[in-house]
Amino acid sequence: MLNTTFLKACHGEKTNYTPVWIMRQAGRYLPEYRKIREQVDFLTLCKTPELAARVTLLPVDILKVDAAILFSDILIPIEAMGMKLEFSEKKGPHLYHPLRNETSVSRLRTLNPDADIPFVADTVKLLVKQLTVPLIGFSGAPFTLATYMIEGGSSKNFVNTKTMMYRQPALFHELMKKLTTMNISYLKAQINAGVHAVQLFDSWAGALSPQDYRDFELPYVKQIISELGSLVPVIYFPNNCAGLLKMASASGADVISVDWRISIAEAAGIIGEGVSIQGNLDPVALFGTKENIRKEAAEILAGAVSARTHIFNLGHGILPETPVENAIALVDMVHELSSKKS
């Protein structure tokens, strides 16, 4: 039977304890994951349903988290739109022939998820048969995806992306429309296959000034959420969001996931009572002592009491060097500290 604590919290229903999962919980910090990765490269792992499903399940067994998240990457659909993608251990993702002009944007293909990347739905279908907790699907928000497509990979200052925004706004908006269409069909395909909730990762939203966020990203995020919100709960994660939080909380999402650079009490105050909150322990806190982790987890749980409901998570993805025992301890502490004594 499915443990629905996480889904209840997404919907704003009170639960007996605070559900917890961890961004990148099926990742390199787990020895079991690294063992599988010795056999296959990252993209093959994403594209092989049996393996992707196995990796997705690892943290459910090891950490006892209250939700699983599909093992994949936000750039998988971008590759299917026609951009050549490679991952290197050191430099991260590399997209060949980054978008810089109208021709390259117009050449992007419309994603047909079931035909182009059937392994995603296949992985979901395998998982929902086995899981004891809800499965979260995900996609990258348009601006975040656009940065990779325009820069060709990770970036420090997003000079090419913003230069397109400022100098070729019509072209930038055309790209954002394509990414919005992609997001909707991609997330609907995941929902049709069985995911119980979706998270929209806006990892680089915080690189935008509030004015630019309002003009170039928020309208697309709203459109995506409005298409999906009646189907499953939507979690929106605008990373480094303190200055954007008021706008982001009006995105229509059921849950706003906040990073660690703002106190969760202050964030809950900004978000208001209509939306749930997810977060927000500093990922590096897991390198501290267990006493310190407990103190910080308790402070976050206390700070979140004014939120509609709270889903505990890190403020960003768990780091590869994190001691596994501390991740296990964190999940246990959150469950214990938040359990209603009755």
Binding residues vs its own copies (CB under 8 A): 157-159, 162-163, 165-167, 206-212, 240, 242-244, 260-263, 266, 282-285, 287-289, 292, 296, 299, 315, 319, 321
Closest approach of Cβ 240 to its own copies, in Å?
7
The minimum distance between CB 239 and its own copies, in angstroms, equals 11
Q: What is the amino acid identity at position 155?
A: S
Cross-strand bridge partners of residue 95:
85
Rounded to 5°, the CA angle 111-253-156 comes to 65
Q: 13-50: string of b/e by CB count within 10 Å (b at 16+)? A: eebebbbbbbbbbbbbbbeebeebbeeeeebebbbbbe
- In one-letter notation, the amino acid at residue 131 is L
4/263 with CB nearer its own copies:
263
Using the minimum distance from each CB to its own copies, give the nearer residue, 33 or 158: 158
Q: Please, which residue, 50 or 325, has the CB nearer to its own copies?
A: 325
> What is the distance between the terminal CA atoms of the chain, rounded to a whole angstrom?
24
Q: Which is nearer to its own copies, 197 or 256 (CB)?
A: 256
Please report how close the Cβ of residue 158 comes to its own copies at its closest, in angstroms.
7
Amino acid (1-letter code) at residue 151 = E
- Token pair 């889904």 is at which residue? 7
The least distance separating its own copies from the CB of residue 288, rounded to whole angstroms, comes to 3
Q: Which two tokens stand for residue 157?
A: 């200052």
How many residues in the chain? Answer: 342
Alpha carbons 330 and 333: distance in angstroms, whole number: 5
Of 138 and 213, which has the nearer Cβ to its own copies? 213
Cα–Cα distance measured from residue 156 to residue 187, given in angstroms and rounded to the nearest whole number:
28
Instruction: Give me the active site residues, please.
Output: 24, 28, 37, 73, 148
* Shorter beta-carbon distance to its own copies: residue 61 or 321: 321
300/260 Cα distance (integer angstroms):
10
Q: Least separation, in Å, of the C-beta of 13 and its own copies? A: 28
- Residue in 220, 251, 211 with CA at minimum distance from that of residue 234: 251
- CA–CA dist 77, 75 (Å, integer): 6
Token output for 106: 């117009």
CB of 213 to its own copies, least distance (A): 9
State the CB neighbour count (10 A cutoff) for residue 258. 30
Instruction: For residue 178, give both structure tokens.
Output: 């394509």
Whether the Cβ atoms of residue 216 and residue 208 lie closer than 8 Å to each other: yes
Task: Report in angstroms how near the CB of residue 84 gets to its own copies at its nearest.
Answer: 26
Cβ proximity of 274 and 295 under 8 Å: no
By C-beta, is 130 or 163 nearer to its own copies?
A: 163
Peptide bond before residue 280 is cis, with ω within 30 degrees of 0: yes
